[in-house]
Amino acid sequence: MTWSDEWEVEWGAGSDLNLITRAASRVFTRLRTIASESDEPSVQDVVEWMVEQLQYVEDTVHDVQWFAPLANAFGAQLDAHGRAVNVLRGGQTDDEYRATLMAVYSSLSQRRTPTLLLAMLQLLTQGSDTTYDYTEYRPAAFEIGLYDVTLARATLIESIIRRAKLEGVRFTMHVVPDTTSAFRFDTPGEGFDSPPFGFTYTLES
C-alpha cells in the first residue's frame, strides 16, 4: 500500500478525527522527506504547498474536535470551554458542567437583569432535586434560597451569580443542604413557624 492509499483509507467513511490527525502527521513527515531528497526547486515548492494545505486541514480538524459548540460538547471539549472562562469541572458530570458553562457564558454575553438571573438559576438546578426561590428588594438587592443542594454545588452557583449580578447590587444567598433534616421552629398549630435553617452567603459590591 502506498502512502496515498493509506491516506485515503484513513480519511475514508467511518474514520474518526483522531485517525485523521494521525494520518496527517505521517503525511507531513513523508512529504518533507521527499522535499529534502529532491534537488528540484519546483518539487520542493509543490511539497511545501501541500504541507501548508494539510496543516490547514489538521488545524481545522483540531478546532472541530476540541472546540465544538458548547451545546454539543462533551468530555475534553467541555474542559476546553471551561478553561476559556476559567471555570474548571471540579467533579461535575458532562451535563452538570455544560449547564454551568452555559450559565457562565450567559452572564458574560447578556444584559444583567433579574430575568437573566432567574434563567441561570433554572439552568443550574435543572435535572436535580435542588429547588430555589428568588426575592428582589428594590432598588439594589436580592436574595436567593437554595434547597437540597450540595455545598460544592452551592458554592459554584454562588460564584456564578456573583459574576452575573450588577456591581453595587447587594446579594444574599441562603443555603439549606437537606430540607428533610434542617432545623425549624415549630409551635403547636398548622405548618412550621419558620423556614428551614441553613447558612447564608452575603455579598456586597
- Spatial distance between the Cα atoms of 98 and 100, rounded to a whole number of angstroms: 5
Domains (range + CATH), the chain = 3-66 (no CATH), 69-109 (no CATH), 112-205 (3.30.70)
> Which residue has better confidence, 201 or 146?
146
Q: Which residues pair with 51 in a beta bridge?
A: none
Largest CA distance in the chain: 99
Model confidence pLDDT, tens digit, residues 2-18: 333 333 333 333 344 55
* pLDDT, mean of residues 168-175: 86
Lowest mean pLDDT among 28-42, 156-170, 191-205: 191-205
8 Å CB contact between 125 and 131: yes
Lowest mean pLDDT among 1-5, 85-89, 90-94, 141-145: 1-5
Question: What pLDDT was estimated at residue 192?
Answer: 47
pTM: 0.49
φ/ψ of 92, rounded to 5, equals -75, 150
8 Å CB contact between 186 and 192: yes
147 burial type by CB count under 10 A (0-12 exposed, 13-18 middle, 19+ buried) = buried
8 Å CB contact between 99 and 124: yes
Model confidence pLDDT, tens digit, residues 111-157: 677 888 888 888 888 888 999 999 998 888 899 989 988 888 888 88
Q: 175 pLDDT exceeds 60? A: yes
What is the percent of the chain where pLDDT is above 70? 53
What the block records as the C-alpha cell of 150 is 450540595
8 Å CB contact between 176 and 146: yes
8 Å CB contact between 184 and 192: yes
What the block records as the C-alpha cell of 127 is 435535572
Q: Hey, is 170 helix, strand or coil?
A: strand
| Count, residues in the chain | 205
